[in-house]
Structure 1
Amino acid sequence: IGDVLFGDVNPSGKLTMTFPKNVGQIPIYYAHKNTGRPLPAGKWFEKFRSNYLDVDNDPLYPFGYGLSYTTFQYSDISLSAPTMEQNGSVTAKVTITNTGKRDGAEVVQLYIRDLVGSITRPVKELKGFEKIFLKAGESKTVSFKITPDLLHFYDYDLNYVAEPGDFDLMVGGNSQVLKTARLTLK
């Protein structure tokens, strides 16, 4: 702990839960179901929307959040193809750059959202992660292989299915600050 406090070791741990700002937000988690009237991004309060009167909807610390003595920048997601067949795969690539003055490790997180399903689906689900180490100023490309297995879920009749449609692939350092790309499953 002393080495971390004095900067001899650069921390790279990430939170395994979401921390609320206020007890009224409990339960709060990243994989919640979408509401019928979500609050637009950047808004504090809007009448007839899913929000609180005395606190904003954002957590104090989102799932996957962590501090470091350096900073990382993510490029946009590059897909090998915009569509995928039921028995195919697509590769999603993102380049991470250490923009700080210290060497450090980063946990690159992949989230997927099924935009339309036969049952309600979470706004995002953690489907993969990779921990990488970057020297100051160094860049590295991380690849995630997207297969139909990552898109499967149990439907109303408890069949394990991947339904055709659009999916958002999201990559970032925590569950709130993410780069997004659209993938269509045929």
Structure 2
Amino acid sequence: MSLASIERKNLSREESEKKRTGHKIDILFRIDDMEYFGSETYVDEDPQNSKPISYKQKLFREMKDQLDLLLKKLKFTRETIKGIKNIAIHGINQGGLNGKIYAMYYDSDLHCYFVFETCRYRIGTTWGSIPESLTSLKDILCLKNDIINVLDTVKRTKRIALLTKPEELFTIDNLPETTPTPKKSQKE
């Protein structure tokens, strides 16, 4: 269960209301209460696909929730806010033997979120596809390095915040809303 989506779903909750659950996502990478990576899998070839095209929207919604929670918890200085574009949340959509890796970051100057596809990959199933599979492995190892760089940026931002006077720190509280996730249709 994603802590970031639990946080978003319960922002407007009244004390008397029951706490709402967050999204379940197939794979999460979390350190303490911060999530940096998510993965959603699906089966393209299945005619009874339980995760139709909305699987990608779910991953993007989850990535935004993760990024929002992370950015709202950080305290910035005038210098560290310049590195905010280096704080990116990553995600993978994996269907069958194919996958796509995405990254999302927030541009504080434009007040916009940007999502981009970092790579596509295919897992080979024959001896002839070994070169293609090795390229896929290289792309996945690059993802590991990208996540490590994000963790370093977050650690540096936190360390500088600890050494800075509280009156010189600020947070990002007013992140822009995005289009709400469409509601599932009720089958009768």
By relative contact order (CA 8 Å, sep 6+), the higher-ranking structure is 1
| TM-score scaled by length of structure 2 | 0.24
Q: As a proportion of its length, which structure holds more helix? A: 2
Q: Which has the higher strand share?
A: 1
